[in-house]
Structure formats: structure tokens, C-alpha cells
């Protein structure tokens, strides 16, 4: 069985944390850019899939 090396583990965890942070920053920047490009959405103009919301309303009505 290989010996446990706390320093290597710490270095690898730091590396993974940096990679995750870089990925989050990239996705956040892309999302912000897209939101700025598209501008605000007026009420009623939102084209999102509302099937979950409609289903929730139906379930509440059945209570």
C-alpha cells in the first residue's frame, strides 16, 4: 500500500480548487456578458419553459 503524503494531497487539492475557481469565473463572465447583451426581459416576454411552474399551480389547486 502506498504511503500517505499530506503535502501531495494538499497541493492537489489546491490545484483542483484553482481549476474550479477558473471554471466558475469563466462561466460567470459568459453569463454576465450574455445578460448584458440581451438586456432586461419584460414581464410576459420571457420565453422560458414554464411547464414546471404550470404543474406546480395545478398541484396547488388540487390541494
Tens-place pLDDT, residues 3-55: 889 999 999 999 999 999 999 999 999 999 998 998 876 766 666 556 666 66
In this prediction, residue 38 carries a pLDDT of: 85
CA distance 5 to 59: 54
Domain residue ranges in the chain: 1-38
Alpha carbon of 31 to those of 13, 39, 44: distances in Å?
27, 12, 22
Amino acid at each position: 500500500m502506498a504511503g500517505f503524503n499530506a503535502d501531495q494531497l494538499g497541493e492537489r487539492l489546491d490545484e483542483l480548487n484553482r481549476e474550479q475557481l477558473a471554471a466558475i469565473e469563466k462561466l460567470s463572465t459568459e453569463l454576465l456578458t450574455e445578460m448584458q447583451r440581451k438586456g432586461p426581459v419584460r414581464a410576459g416576454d420571457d420565453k422560458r419553459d414554464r411547464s414546471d411552474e404550470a404543474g406546480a399551480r395545478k398541484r396547488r389547486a388540487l390541494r
